[in-house]
Structure 1
Amino acid sequence: MRIAIVTESFAPDVNGVAHSVVRTAEHLVARGHEPMVIAPSPPGARRRPVDRLPYPVVRIPSVPLPRYQGFRLGMPSVRLAEALLGHAPDVVHLASPFVLGARAATLARRHGLPTVAVYQTDVASYARAYRVGWGEAAAWRRLREIHNSAQRTLVPSTRSAADLIANGVQRIWLWRRGVDAERFHPDKRCAGLRRALAPRGEILVGYVGRLAPEKRVELLSTVARLPGVRIVVVGDGPARRQLEKALPEARFLGVQHGEALARLYASLDIFVHTGPHETFGQTLQEAAASGLPVVAPASGGPVDLVEPGVTGLLVPPGDADALAGAVATLASDARRRTEYGAAGRAAIGRRSWTAIGDELIGHYQAVLAGVPAGGLPVP
């Protein structure tokens, strides 16, 4: 098949949408298909070398998102139409569609191209957090129009599915995300790294992700006051300066990739996620694959990923005291940390990117075959 993937974010961006598109395109090539990625230009794109990937990448002119200069919004243009139609796709894949994806959905509908839309970002909540000029109701109207123009909408979690159904989106199927269980592995634990991060033998509590207002990383300030605990923050974003002031004792390590990131995960003792608006929570899977117990808010994607009392603990969203209490419980109980970590590692056994990629290809094939998609198969 020839697949045009139109995405609102792509490498070198570091986020769940960009990562899943990269893994999807890699898998499609490995299976003998012909993907093309259409994505916003990153900052300084004119000075960057052409993307050296085993599939074509077409960059669309972009502008920075207000109040978040590091994220670019692709501006629909003639170049988008030329690239999309020129690829002659069998299927159009819309990754977290809102701006570029909205225009691509219109083009696909006009030219009779089958479309699969993947819901990956809680745009309505982000609209409120960044005050970008349209409220939640307007964001949902736009999302409903885009997704209902597709033959199928794929969602990463049951909570996301419930949100979409409540806002009038139809033809929803569950499609989770994969995790690289070979890269993220408990065996990557590094004694030297632990000594560097916790010279007095502190319990290492880590957060990995974007440092942005909606992630609520400042909630870790209560955790940071726990005796014998050291906070490690991996990632970057517009809230970093404020967070460094709010968490003066934490270690901020910036964005990490590959084996360095895998060592960091495995060298932690507890993984904590703070954001209440996650449609999935890829970092929670990577932490579980690394053998860590997970503490996360009882909202969005984490509800599907964390089994309370088995692989980690869920707390009320936005409750700093509950978050600190859950971390304190795990910090004081090494046996429970070990048991939760082992259970989390076992739980991700069936979530390889290969299995998830083949599942996606099955959705493409069903759309091409005209198979109805009126239900939501949930395991």
Structure 2
Amino acid sequence: MRILLVGINYAPDLIGVAKYNTELCESLVAEAHEVRVITAPPYYPAWRIPAGFDSHYFRARNVNGVEITRAPIYVPRKPTGAKRLLHHASFALTTALPMLTKAREWRPDVMLSTAPSLMSSALVSFVARRIGVKSWLHVQDFEVDAAFDLGLLRNGVLRKIMLGAESRILQSFDRVSSISPQMVDRLLAKGVPAERTLEIRNWIDTSAIFPRSRQTRYRREFGIGESDIVGLYSGTMSNKQGLDLVIEAASLLQHSHPEIHFILAGEGPDKARLLKMAAGRSNVHFLGLQPNESFNELMATADVHLIPQKAEAADLVLPSKLGAVFGSARPVIAMATEGTGLAEEVEGAGMVVSPGDTRALADAICALAQNPALCAAFGAEGRKRSLERWDRRAIVGRWALEMSAMRSAPAPSETQAAMTAGPPDAISVKDAIRLP
């Protein structure tokens, strides 16, 4: 098949959606499909385009068998809610011409968009409909819900406008998928017909993430003893993670349990604030993003993996790091409300505590630190789940099968075509920012 992906994040960014998009495209190429990508320059999670990055905007380059075209994008140094709107709007604007050109000249079988960014997705389904090819939207993150539920945007009128536009965008695609049953349920609640929805979860490479000794160079670098306990967070450091809760738990345990250490590895807009919060605490250590070749060693450093999460972020996203946590055969402590996707994934392979409850987080870490047999049992169950549910080759194979089946499906009815004849109503970024 010929597959054209339009997504805001791609390699060399290392984490989150960029990693997923890259691995999906390269895996499809390995299965003899042709894949082209329209994306932005790398910027995430530092929110900064690397100095000296040789972008050559709009010039196609072949990287590991994937043809990549990059479009310029506005990257705010401090990503507030309004600036994020401008950020996504700029990507939608600059990708319009290369998308139209490649779609008409190359004639892909499937046009694939990943959310974020939903703004650029609107044009993907519109162009696909006009040239007679199938469109697929894969939702990694309900960005509109997250922006308002987490307080990045607050205006009620703006929320109503954006949710209406989101609903039209979602319903304009031939297929809409997401990464957990709860997120698929949210798609249904937003008006996507059940026959067009699909759950396709994220994955890990189970041959690259595997159990190994906990005595790693990271422990030596921080002077952490062989019998000490490490709680590890690895990933993006932004508002929705709630990493201040980890530092608060470290404060509670600093004197009563000096053998318990916390490592926070990653980058993001909240990192400077977290460093300031942790100043003077000898049991909190920070790392930057680690290269892929060191990632398994980082995962093995943990005695316990930590997935803090604000209650407002429940079922807006399923943390992509969960598969790697399971693959490392270490227990996990997740902050999640009972019945959410994250809570159900972790049950039996770790402990679930209430979001925002620092004391419960600290107590859970102490409980696991004092029960190595329980840690081993949780770790073994996690590893088993990673092999059964998160294996990269099996999941990418399902992607290919579903795309092939969709390509062969009959064209949409005239009624459906009329409903999606035009792109969803545009949101005026200028007007949105002006709203109080």
Same fold (TM over 0.5): yes
Q: Describe the SS at the equivalent of 1:23.
A: helix
Whether 1:18 aligns to 2:18 is: yes
Structure 1 pair 188–258 and aligned structure 2 pair: CA distance change class (3 A): farther
Q: Which amino acid aligns with 2:16?
A: G
Is the CA contact (8 Å cut-off) linking 1:2 and 1:90 kept in structure 2?
A: yes
Whether 1:153 aligns to 2:176 is: yes
Q: Describe the SS at the equivalent of 2:177.
A: strand
Structure 2 equivalent of residue 106 of structure 1: 126
CA deviation string 1:96-126 (max 9, x = no partner): 1412222212211222220111011120243
1:236 positional shift: 0.3
Matched ranges for 1:246-325 at <5 A:
246-248=277-279, 249=281, 250-276=284-310, 277=313, 279-298=317-336, 301-307=341-347, 310-325=348-363
> 2:238 and 2:400 mapped to 1: Cα distance?
33
Q: With structure 1 as the length reference, what TM-score do the two structures score?
A: 0.90
1:326 positional shift: 1.9
1:92 positional shift: 0.8
Structure 1 pair 136–273 and aligned structure 2 pair: CA distance change class (3 A): farther
Is the CA contact (8 Å cut-off) linking 2:55 and 2:70 kept in structure 1?
A: no
> 1:101 and 1:158 mapped to 2: Cα distance?
22
> 1:334 and 1:135 mapped to 2: Cα distance?
50
Matched ranges for 1:80-159 at <5 A:
80-96=99-115, 97-128=117-148, 129=150, 130-131=152-153, 135-159=158-182
Structure 2 equivalent of residue 221 of structure 1: 247
Q: Which amino acid aligns with 1:112?
A: G
Is the CA contact (8 Å cut-off) linking 1:91 and 1:115 kept in structure 2?
A: yes
Structure 1 pair 106–67 and aligned structure 2 pair: CA distance change class (3 A): farther
> 1:160 and 1:296 mapped to 2: Cα distance?
18
Q: Which amino acid aligns with 2:405?
A: A
Whether 1:354 aligns to 2:393 is: yes
Structure 2 unmatched ranges of 5 or more: 43-48, 413-436
1:314 positional shift: 1.4
Structure 1 equivalent of residue 29 of structure 2: 29
> 2:172 and 2:166 mapped to 1: Cα distance?
10
Structure 1 pair 123–192 and aligned structure 2 pair: CA distance change class (3 A): closer
Structure 1 equivalent of residue 218 of structure 2: 193
Is the CA contact (8 Å cut-off) linking 1:63 and 1:75 kept in structure 2?
A: no
Query: What is the percentage of aligned positions where both structures have the same residue?
Result: 25
Q: 2:378 aligns with which of 332, 340, 344?
A: 340
Structure 2 equivalent of residue 376 of structure 1: none
Is the CA contact (8 Å cut-off) linking 1:292 and 1:337 kept in structure 2?
A: yes
Structure 2 equivalent of residue 242 of structure 1: 273
Q: With structure 2 as the length reference, what TM-score do the two structures score?
A: 0.79
Whether 1:53 aligns to 2:64 is: yes
> 1:345 and 1:4 mapped to 2: Cα distance?
34
> 1:30 and 1:271 mapped to 2: Cα distance?
32
Segment of structure 1 superposing worse, 123-132 or 1-10 = 123-132
Structure 1 pair 346–46 and aligned structure 2 pair: CA distance change class (3 A): closer
> 1:32 and 1:349 mapped to 2: Cα distance?
25
> 1:271 and 1:95 mapped to 2: Cα distance?
28
Structure 1 equivalent of residue 421 of structure 2: none
Is the CA contact (8 Å cut-off) linking 2:184 and 2:199 kept in structure 1?
A: yes
Q: Describe the SS at the equivalent of 2:38.
A: strand
Structure 1 equivalent of residue 234 of structure 2: 208
Segment of structure 1 superposing worse, 171-180 or 203-212 = 171-180
Is the CA contact (8 Å cut-off) linking 2:25 and 2:35 kept in structure 1?
A: yes
Q: Describe the SS at the equivalent of 2:356.
A: coil
C-alpha RMSD of the superposition: 2.5
Segment of structure 1 superposing worse, 56-65 or 136-145 = 136-145
Whether 1:176 aligns to 2:191 is: no
Structure 2 equivalent of residue 377 of structure 1: none
